[in-house]
Structure 1
Amino acid sequence: MTRLVVDAVKDAGVDKQDIQSLVFTLPRPYTRQKYFHTFLMGQLRLSCRGNVMEVMGNGMTAALAFDQACNDIMLGRSEVSLALGINMESAVSAAEHMMSSMRTTGDVDFHTSAGFTPIAWYAMDAMRYMHEHGATREELCSVAVKNRFHASMNPLAQYRKPVTLEEVVQQRPIVEPLGLYDVPPRGDGAACLVLASEDVARELGRPYVLVKGRGFFHDGSHQISDVPNDMIAFESARQAASVAYEQAGISAKDVDVAELYAPCTIVEVLVSEAIGLIPKGHGARAAFNGETRLGGHIPISTSGGLTSRGHPAYVTSLYNYVELAEQLRGRAGERQVKNAQFGLATGELGNYNAAMIHVMEAKQ
């Protein structure tokens, strides 16, 4: 983590003393070192007058850290802020991790006792989507193929060996109809982003990325709603995106590249439709036809996404922002989206019962 902070600050071109706010993602509960944020401050010998804090919000944890770092700048508490965090899932067994995950994301008196895992939510979404729109298993699997192709060009990706559609379809089932490559791996990871006021960014005299719009919406449910609703509409994502587009002064058709918080193939499909990148009911087919691939109509998850780049959950959204920062500064190498001007990132609380959307713009 300390190495990442040093590298990020050097890359940004700011001075150490300019950093007056650090917003950390809360480490996993089994992390041996408690109060990790103040521990790291001691390692870095940093003193700050703005904010030093840890935030937590399930899958949205990293998006909230980024959002709070922005807030500190907009409130005048800091000219330069860091959004950073570390996630070490390999510290415990998969069984222990899943037991904790079920107690976190479900109703302990109903879902947990039935063994209802987060992947089971998404499997139900997939079944409903296939029923309503006639999507095929192959079309859903094409999302995983596309993401692995993108990941093959990303040195940060956890899985970089390309896979074929046949290989994805033939993988063992996890929760029907989702197979092994439709779901995310467990992963460790750390990330650090440097945010600053636009005045500071301009003075540095190098390309930067402007946070142009932000939207948030929570539908009032705990992960899965107990009120009958359209379970695959992802209404929170739609409403959050609407606000973000309005603030940014753009529409969905202006987005050049999107990094979506999509733990499973079906989630990428549903989010892309909810935020207007793909027409409703056409998300899986669009992936199958190459529309969401590099060179396609709207490249999605150019990093490789959660299924191939990896999903260290409490820092996952920071990885999404890293990818947009690389794309919008023209530094994504082989996976660069040509002339990318506007990028979009999404964050999720749980089956998109809540969503956070940021729209970003390339600045020279």
Structure 2
Amino acid sequence: MNRAVTIVGAAGIPCGRVQTAPGLDRQVLEHEVLAGCVLDAVAQAGVDKASIDAMVFCHPRPYTQQLYFGTFMANYLRLPSNGVVMEVVGNGMTGGLAFDQAAQMIASGRAEVALALGVNFETAIGSAEHMNRSMRATGDVAFHTPFGFTPISWYAMDAMRYMHETGATRAEIASVAVKNRRHAALNPLAQYRDPVTLDEVLAQRPIVEPFGLFEVPPRSDGAACIVLASEDAARALGRPHARVIGRGFHHEGAHQISEVPSDMIAFNAAVRAGAQAYQAAGLQPADVDVAELYAPCTIVEVLVSEALGLTPRGRGAAQAAAGETSLGGRLPICTSGGLLARGHPPFITPLYSYIEVFEQLTRRAGERQVADAHIAMAACELGNYNAALVHLLEAAA
């Protein structure tokens, strides 16, 4: 059995600083925040609580005190299940994997309605502890980690290589940050909603050459819930929904940066995952009306847009600077504000992408609505795009 899967509801809290510092008498509790998202998403979808057959959680950050979080939440929500209650993890792809697993539960006939959900708190954790865990998770502990090799430094090398090979300028790459702030100003879920100029982006203190502060992601807390349903269940609700029409995944068999020489700016995993998704949907890149890309730095949005065929190879930065990927342009990318401006609560970041494409395809995006949006893309990654997961969705009623 391989049934059509839809999104019928979605909700999240604004990204930002929510976590309270350890040791304070009063704490913001992760399960209470997430429960609020569940109630909002389910109410928006119009589904009955008894119809929810599965819950796939993003595994919480190691700073979360409550272990076995998924089954704890099932108890807190008083939500029994005949399908599955489980947690998934995959660094930045975690939210995408939760969505993907929930979709597979429906496609296989094991669920009529499923939730993909999670909470990410990290902003009250000390910088040294946070960076230590980040380096251990994203680099080889015997080789990269002792030398302080961070994810941002990989992307900085990508940017330098891209400028060397294509002739793109730092200003063109930095224009992505300006665009995303402009989009975020229209998004009530965004962490940074104040517009910035290109001169302001270029004037920020350096983080890793050639990136300044506004060209790298913030630390963010967040919580989100996506309600997925079978096509029959979605039609019975009688509301606009978004139908999943294509899916692709590829892992290069490499951990972050490999010692095997490769084209470091080709993002091969995204190329292959995107090709699978296009083939499954019977579409071409030109058919996409709006895209939400997992892009921790300005250069990543440029490179993954090229890898997915949304912009020509070597022209992604130039097209961003020319406004082609802005609202009102040829193909708006990251209308939510993306990771740089909407925010980046890592383990659930992709869930915010599904919120955005759902709102775009059901005409709920307000001032940032892309006119006549019918086909949307959501993509996420593991690390330096050594693996990519891509979904294509279409508007349905």
1:263 matched to 2:284? The reply is: no
Partner in structure 2 of residue 94 of structure 1 = 127
**Match of 2:323, as an amino acid?**
G
TM norm structure 2: 0.91
Equivalent residues in 2 for 1:220-299, closer than 5 Å: 220-299=253-332
Whole-angstrom distance in 2 between the partners of 1:94 and 1:11: 37
Contact 1:30 1:91 in 2 (8 A): no
Whole-angstrom distance in 1 between the partners of 2:271 and 2:127: 33
After TM superposition, give the deviation of residue 95 of structure 1 in Å.
1.7
Between 151-160 and 38-47, report the one with greater CA deviation. Answer: 38-47
TM norm structure 1: 0.99
Aligned residues: CA RMSD:
0.6
2:162 to 106, 122, 129: 129
The superposition leaves residues 134-163 of structure 1 with CA deviations (integer Å, 9 ceiling, x where unpaired) of 111110110000000000000000000000
Partner in structure 1 of residue 25 of structure 2 = none
What secondary structure is seen at the aligned counterpart in 2 of 1:89? coil
After TM superposition, give the deviation of residue 91 of structure 1 in Å.
3.7
The superposition leaves residues 300-350 of structure 1 with CA deviations (integer Å, 9 ceiling, x where unpaired) of 000000000000000000000000000000110000000000000101000
Partner in structure 1 of residue 50 of structure 2 = 17
Whole-angstrom distance in 2 between the partners of 1:4 and 1:186: 20
Contact 2:63 2:122 in 1 (8 A): no
What secondary structure is seen at the aligned counterpart in 2 of 1:119? helix
The superposition leaves residues 105-164 of structure 1 with CA deviations (integer Å, 9 ceiling, x where unpaired) of 101111000000010000000000000001111101100000000000000000000000
Partner in structure 1 of residue 187 of structure 2 = 154
Partner in structure 2 of residue 104 of structure 1 = 137
The superposition leaves residues 234-280 of structure 1 with CA deviations (integer Å, 9 ceiling, x where unpaired) of 01000100000011111000000000000000000000000000000
Whole-angstrom distance in 2 between the partners of 1:238 and 1:94: 34
Partner in structure 2 of residue 219 of structure 1 = 252
What secondary structure is seen at the aligned counterpart in 2 of 1:214? strand
Identity %: 65
What secondary structure is seen at the aligned counterpart in 2 of 1:90? coil
Partner in structure 1 of residue 37 of structure 2 = 4
**Match of 1:346, as an amino acid?**
A
Partner in structure 1 of residue 95 of structure 2 = 62
What secondary structure is seen at the aligned counterpart in 1 of 2:324? coil
Whole-angstrom distance in 2 between the partners of 1:226 and 1:247: 33
Whole-angstrom distance in 2 between the partners of 1:171 and 1:90: 21
Whole-angstrom distance in 2 between the partners of 1:240 and 1:167: 36
Partner in structure 2 of residue 331 of structure 1 = 364
Runs of 4 or more, structure 1, over 6 Å off, are none
**Match of 1:74, as an amino acid?**
A
What secondary structure is seen at the aligned counterpart in 2 of 1:233? coil
Equivalent residues in 2 for 1:202-217, closer than 5 Å: 202-217=235-250
Contact 1:128 1:232 in 2 (8 A): yes
After TM superposition, give the deviation of residue 75 of structure 1 in Å.
1.5
Whole-angstrom distance in 2 between the partners of 1:298 and 1:204: 31
1:190 matched to 2:235? The reply is: no
Whole-angstrom distance in 2 between the partners of 1:190 and 1:289: 34
Partner in structure 1 of residue 207 of structure 2 = 174
Whole-angstrom distance in 2 between the partners of 1:39 and 1:219: 35
Show structure 2 runs of 5+ residues with no match.
1-33
Contact 1:184 1:311 in 2 (8 A): yes
Contact 1:147 1:308 in 2 (8 A): yes
Between 264-273 and 86-95, report the one with greater CA deviation. Answer: 86-95
After TM superposition, give the deviation of residue 80 of structure 1 in Å.
0.2
Whole-angstrom distance in 2 between the partners of 1:31 and 1:311: 17
